[in-house]
């Protein structure tokens, strides 16, 4: 569950397209300080999720233990539970920062907080999301090191690092697909998030074009979770809730595409003076149709119950850990 970061909003039309640094432009150091309260809240949420997952495992209702019965001991596998907790808080913070980004780049309403406040929240939640994603991957690697039975520490460290951070290295089960997807989300989130702080060098126009790929990071994160999150492995209420949370994201995306804050991004009629050329207009129109189709698809998944979840088996599967001890 490595969800993605989506820092910083798009600028209004009145913002000058200049490469120079403007007075009052946010800096990374200042945003890191401003993110401390947000990060503290994220740590608190992570702790609460960790306790919840621990309780479910102790009570015998854990989906993780149903998928991997050898993990039915929270004291032995607490690092894995902590990795899961970081992953869920990362996905929650990613959801929040994506929502803030879509609100900022969509139509303005009178009830919204001041734009500068929304921008600051967007940047700080983005930084927190990236940190949570890294913590999620790091604790997964720590779990692999802890339960690797080979005597050589360097071998154990390298194996855990490669399984967790090198795309295509992990070779067990669904993780062969899901882990590279999560790694892609992390490795895209970091540069896309930090590009805001050098946009005076690359130019606002280039930054805006690259920033659009942040939504792909979020999609990869959700996809990673649906594929590999053992808490949403089965077609039960946690998986349904995860799908339901995507409805407001998809709806805001439709609104943002239909009524973008920047006049230059509005669809209008093809070929109008000063408007986009026909190929660009066609691409924008197709994007709006795709977003509307995504909303319809998510609603269909939730209503039909066909959400890709597995059926919980009557008897636990005979599974074993991803063990390197026999190598």
Per residue in 57-77, pLDDT (tens digit) is 998 888 888 888 888 889 999
Mean pLDDT of 101-107: 86
How much is the pTM?
Answer: 0.84
Burial (0-12, 13-18, 19+ Cβ within 10 Å), 267? middle
Indicate the SS3 state at residue 210.
Answer: helix
Distance CA 34, CA 148 (A): 39
Task: Check whether 310 has a pLDDT greater than 70.
Answer: yes
Q: Is the pLDDT of residue 12 over 60?
A: no
pLDDT reported for residue 13: 39
What residues contact 240, with CB distance under 8 A and at least 6 apart?
A: 302, 305, 307
Neighbouring residues of 195: CB distance < 8 A, sequence distance ≥ 6: 202, 207, 210, 211
Q: Which residues of 107-146 are buried (b: 16+ CB within 10 A; e: fewer)?
A: eeeeeeeeeeebbbbbbbbbbbbbbbbbbbbbbbbbbbbe
Please answer whether residues 249 and 95 qualify as being in contact, where contact means their C-beta atoms are separated by less than 8 angstroms: yes
12 Cβ neighbours under 8 A, 6+ residues apart: 261, 262
């Amino acid at each position: 569950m490595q969800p993605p970061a989506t820092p910083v909003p798009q600028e209004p039309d009145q913002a000058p397209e200049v490469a120079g640094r403007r007075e009052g432009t946010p800096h990374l150091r200042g945003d890191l300080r401003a993110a401390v309260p947000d990060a503290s809240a994220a740590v608190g949420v992570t702790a609460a999720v960790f306790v919840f997952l621990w309780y479910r495992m102790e009570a015998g209702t854990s989906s993780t233990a149903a998928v991997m019965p050898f993990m039915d001991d929270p004291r032995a596998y607490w690092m894995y539970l902590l990795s899961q907790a970081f992953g869920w808080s990362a996905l929650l913070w990613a959801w929040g920062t994506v929502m803030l980004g879509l609100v900022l780049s969509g139509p303005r309403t009178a009830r919204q907080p001041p734009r500068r406040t929304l921008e600051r929240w967007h940047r700080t939640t983005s930084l927190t999301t990236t940190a949570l994603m890294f913590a999620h991957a790091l604790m997964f690697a720590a779990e692999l090191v802890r339960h690797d039975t080979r005597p050589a520490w360097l071998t154990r460290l390298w194996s855990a690092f490669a399984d967790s951070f090198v795309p295509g290295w992990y070779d067990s089960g669904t993780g062969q697909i899901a882990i590279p997807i999560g790694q892609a989300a992390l490795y895209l989130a970091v540069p896309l998030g930090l590009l805001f702080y050098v946009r005076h060098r690359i130019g606002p126009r280039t930054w805006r074009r690259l920033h659009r790929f942040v939504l792909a990071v979020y999609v990869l994160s959700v996809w990673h979770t649906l594929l590999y999150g053992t808490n949403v492995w089965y077609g039960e209420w946690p998986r349904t809730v995860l799908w339901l949370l995507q409805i407001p994201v998809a709806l805001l995306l439709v609104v943002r595409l239909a009524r973008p804050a920047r006049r230059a991004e509005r669809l209008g009629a093809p070929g109008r003076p000063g408007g986009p050329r026909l190929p660009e207009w066609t691409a924008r129109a197709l994007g709006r149709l795709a977003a509307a189709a995504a909303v319809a698809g998510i609603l269909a998944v939730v209503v039909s119950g066909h959400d890709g979840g597995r059926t919980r088996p009557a008897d636990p599967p005979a599974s074993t850990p991803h063990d390197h001890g026999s190598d």
